[in-house]
Amino acid sequence: MTRLLPLALLIASVAVAPAVHAQTTPARRDTLPPLAPQDVEIRGQLRVRLPSIVRQPLGGIAPVAPPRRIDPQRTPDAPAYATPPLPETPVAHFVPPPTADLTAGPPLNIGLEGGLGRFLARFGRFTAAGAVAPNTRAFATVTYDGADGETLSGARRGYDDGRGTVGVHLASGRTAVEMEGTGLLRTWNAPTAAALGQIRTTGGFGSNLHVRTEAAHGLAFDVRARPSGSSTEEDVATGLNGQRLRLEDVNVPFDVRLDAPLSPVGVWVSGGGTYATSDESYNRAAFYAGAGLSGTTGITAYRAGPRVLFYDVTTATGASERQTAVTAEVDVQAMLSPALAVRFENTPSVGITPATDVLAEAPYLQLGARFQPEAVPVDARAGATFTQGPFAVDGWAGYRMADRQRYFVSTGTTLDVGYAAVSGVQAGFGVSYTTRTGPSARAELTYRAFAFTDSTAAAATVPYLAPVTGALHLAYGLPRGGVVQLSLVGQSSRYASAGETNRLGATLDLDLYGAVSVRGPLFVIVRADRLLATGRTRFLGYPETAGVVQGGVGIRW
């Protein structure tokens, strides 16, 4: 019993303590009552955020940087492919394989080449480019082509075409500046059955100032100005007296684009135009302005907004013709997979082509032609590009509606230029195989069905516009900078007038170029132009010289 007494006292004190504490301590109001588990419901939200990967858009959201200028006489894996210009709307052009830039590598690269050939054909090239400062590159190029040995219609015809360009490119941080200047001198002697021994001389200048910045502090801009001028004179023998015709042209185009790539939606503003004059009584102007939204959503990048096109023409009699069009600028791109990209775009445009560019495309154009603005409110295209290693396949289709489009037409024994409303569908397909060294190839085919929209069906055909055009380009890089290249370009038959008369047959041109290193910096060069163009007449009454073969040498340091 004595051993159990302490244990009993301990148990009794434990039992009595809570009651005593309850009598001496007031109850707390914030004490939660005991709750059984079945009386509690726990509610909440769990958000799972996985990391996302956004592919860099192909272009069109940030200011689109122009292609890097690479001098055509650089040391290449394959030189730029030269496709004869066609009186057509812009189509997808072949991009040659990647090549070594003259400004990369040694501080200075110099190239010099020249040669002679059939019909006293001759060519010469000089290039120099290199880094003149850590962030500054400079280049200079002089090119010359000529011929003077073919007799046609009892008169000798030939030409001399010289051009020189100097430029400086600067880059500092997010800003890049390009400054270039060009001078040209062309002389043509193009006899025809109607006019023997015409001598036409064109002198002109061109310049380019381009300033662009990447997005910094929420704003990016791209500004470009390209003023140019030219004067073309022609001496025509008329019995014992001579007659001189003259065409003077000054063209001042500019473009401005501002981007504020905000999140999630950015804002952009663009504007530009061209002012041109031939004389005091014939002035032309064309301007555009637009604004819209841009952004990126998942795999899709977009840019869209309204654009206003305006042009004004003052005729020789003082009359004025003005027109304004409201359209939309759209660019939507999506990367469906690492190899497949799709795109839809509408790129409206308005502008005035400089006279030197028109005469380069049609050197026989009469100097009394009036060059006017061109306005294209709708140039919509949808396409896709599939890339797998060195292979690329691209296809596109679209609709084009031009309020004013330039075209060429033969009127009797002369070639004139006209402007009219044109619309129609077009499509293209291409396959490429590109390597930095070794073989590269590109095949492309284009279809166009255009007609005048303000003419009768019997006279709706656009002159000199071939419905089908195609090209095949092959190049193979040789050791020590040499190259062998083949270009095959063709077009279907077409008419020389809107009334579907003077039908011209299909044409096929084959050009070859080879530059082989023989010793050190010395190259042997072989050129063959228009090998399959026998009897070809691109413009009615002006057959082209075929089978011009030339050989020469070149030196590259």
pLDDT by residue (tens digit) across 214-225?
866 678 989 999
Task: Give the pLDDT of residue 200.
Answer: 84
**Residue 118 belongs to a domain:** yes
**Residues of the chain with pLDDT > 70: what percent?**
74
> Which range marks the domain in which residue 137 is found?
101-190
- Torsion, Cα of 98, 102, 105, 109 (10° steps): 150
DSSP letters of 68-81?
PP--TTS--SSPPP
Find the radius of gyration of the CA atoms of the chain: 35
Q: What confidence tier does 163 reach under pLDDT thresholds 50, 70, 90?
A: very high
Q: Is the model's pLDDT at 433 over the cut of 70?
A: yes
Classify residue 354: in a domain, yes or no: no
Q: Residue 58: inside a domain, yes or no? A: no
CB 196 within 8 A of CB 154: yes
The size of the chain, in residues, is: 557
Name the DSSP letter for residue 467: S
In the predicted model, is pLDDT for residue 2 greater than 60?
no
Q: What does the pLDDT read at residue 317?
A: 67
For residues 302 and 304, give the distance between their C-alpha atoms in angstroms, rounded to a whole number. 7
3-class SS of residue 82: coil
Residue 545's pLDDT is what? 82
Q: Is residue 421 part of a domain?
A: no
Question: Is residue 159 in a domain?
Answer: yes
Using the structure block, give the residue that is written with the tokens 């032309």. 284
In this prediction, residue 444 has a pLDDT band, given cuts at 50, 70 and 90, of very high
Strands 503-504 and 494-495: antiparallel
**pLDDT tens per residue across span 484-505:** 999 999 999 998 887 777 888 8
Q: What is the pLDDT of residues 314-341, one digit of tens each?
A: 766 667 888 999 999 999 999 999 999 9
Least-confidence region, from 138-142, 278-282, 445-449, 479-483: 278-282
Q: Poorest-confidence range of 71-80, 173-182, 248-257, 265-274? A: 71-80
Position 72 pLDDT exceeds 90: no
Q: Tell me the CB-side half-sphere exposure of residue 428, using CA atoms within 13 A.
A: 22
CA distance 183 to 15: 113
Cis peptide, bond prior to residue 97, ω within 30 of zero: no
Q: What is the mean pLDDT of the chain?
A: 79
59 has a pLDDT exceeding 60 = no
Residue 116 lies in a domain: yes
433 within domain boundaries:
no
- Output the six-digit token pair for 167: 């430029």
Is position 516 within any domain? no
Report d(CA 243, CA 189) in Å as an integer. 15
Number of domains in the chain: 1
| 129: enclosing H helix or E strand | strand 122-133
The whole-number average pLDDT for the span 18-41 is 46
At residue 473, the pLDDT reads 95
For the chain, how long is the longest CA-to-CA vector?
A: 161
Output the pLDDT for position 384. Answer: 97
**Of residues 227, 199, 242, 490, the one with CA closest to residue 363:** 199
Taking 50 as the threshold, does the pLDDT of residue 20 lie above it? no
CA distance 329 to 488: 35
> Does the pLDDT at position 36 exceed 80?
no
Mean pLDDT for 438-454 is: 92
In 3D space, the residue among 385, 492, 490, 392 whose CA is nearest the CA of residue 440 turns out to be 392
Question: Of the given ranges (165-179, 388-402, 403-417), which has the lowest mean pLDDT?
Answer: 403-417
Does pTM top 0.85 for this prediction? no
Q: Are 504 and 537 in contact (CB under 8 A)?
A: yes
Helices (H) and strands (E) in the chain, counts: 2, 29
